Amino acid sequence: MVGLTKVVISGTGVFTPEETITNEELVEAFNAYVAKFNADNKDAIERGEVEALTESSVPFIEKASGIHRRHVMNKSGILDPDIMTPRLRQRSNEEPSILAEMAVTAARDAMKQAGKTAADIDAVIVACSNLERAYPAIAIEVQDLLGIDGFAFDMNVACSSATFGIQQGYDMVRSGSAKCVLVTDPEICTGHLNFRDRDSHFIFGDVATAIILEAKDTATAEHPFEIIGTRLKTEFSNNIRNNFGFLNRATPEGVGAKDKLFVQEGRKVFKEVVPMVSQMILEHMAEENIGNNSLKRMWLHQANANMNDLIGKKVMGRPPSEAEQPNILKEYANTSSAGSIIAFNQYSEDLEPGDVGVICSFGAGYSAGSVLVRRV
């Protein structure tokens, strides 16, 4: 539109936890839990009152997801069959919260790549699946830790939080309400994963990413990516859900139930999300007069290798190559909103000026976001 500022992504950053868990380690811990559960409930299982649990396996995980390992904030608690959840140190209110600390680390890398200081940024958005607390906003804490003047807020659109955050920042810069926006996505997904559920115990890892959005004419990075346009879409579905929240204590009969962690109907999600996302990207490209033969790269949400392959095929009209559709699932697993940004961060430098790509997310809601970009 005439009069609106052109916006670029001038920097990205990634914070990667030091600890990792391989599929072999995860399976060993899960199967130890299964053996103990089945032994402890032997009589009830024989009476048909309790269903015996089934062991997991490395081939099952890799075939179902394409994941080989994941980075985590705490390994020992997850692999302890008696705990099977991360154990993180309780921090005082005078210390940086763990999500803010992760976000700041990723943000500093993004700012360095973009050539920006705190004085250049006037808005911060923390966009992620599960916020550490209700208030004060993690984003305001990040703003304070980085010494940024201006304003900040949190937002949650599950796995699509990063692209929805980019949309918000893009609109701010385009309209002139902000000159430079930091969007960061700290994700401790292992905190809301049920490691005792065979169908999902392998899905998530932890990470944080950050993106710098600014006006094209203020960018000093060597080769930023101009945002051609954005598109967002939501359709309500219960097939991915987490019912944990501040009202849980008002309904004590549900405290500790499985639905207070991540739950999904995987087959339904696959069947319904693939056509939704594929159609959204194709319609967005058509709107911007971009043919699929002009699309050089797809940085898709890193949820499931089989899902991504099918979306890529539908959008490209053929199976995409690994270069056209990079996959970071083997190393990072599903990191919710951060996945597509990790892929963009790691697989964008080789593109030539004028090359076009799409950053795409999809997840609970259902929610989906498409960001078309062109290398400057």
Going by C-alpha positions, the residue among 125, 133, 138 that lies closest to residue 210 is 125
Q: Which amino acid is located at 235 in the chain?
A: E
| Exposure class string for 123-134: b at 16+ Cβ within 10 A, else e | bbbbbbbbbbee
Q: Is 184 helix (H, G, I), strand (E, B) or coil?
A: strand
CA-derived radius of gyration, the chain = 21
Q: How many CB atoms lie within 10 A of CB 48?
A: 7
Give the span between the Cα atoms of 139 and 152, in whole angstroms. Answer: 5
Distances, alpha carbon 49 to alpha carbons 41, 78, 153, 274, 361, in Å = 9, 28, 48, 38, 41
Going by C-alpha positions, the residue among 49, 53, 23, 50 that lies closest to residue 35 is 53
Give the span between the Cα atoms of 212 and 124, in whole angstroms. Answer: 10
Angle in degrees, CA 256, 26, 330, rounded to 5: 115
Q: How many CB atoms lie within 10 A of CB 306?
A: 14
Phi, psi dihedrals of residue 85, rounded to the nearest 5°: -155, 150
Among residues 159, 180, 189, 360, which one is catalytic? 159
SS3 content of the chain, % helix, strand, coil (to 5): 40, 25, 40
Going by C-alpha positions, the residue among 163, 119, 114 that lies closest to residue 9 is 114
Q: Strands 356-363, 295-300: parallel, antiparallel or unpaired by DSSP?
A: parallel
Query: Among this protein's residues, is 189 annotated catalytic?
Result: no
Exposed/middle/buried for residue 190 (C-beta within 10 Å: 0-12, 13-18, 19+): buried
Please, which residues bridge with residue 356 across strands? 295, 374
- Active site residues per annotation: 159
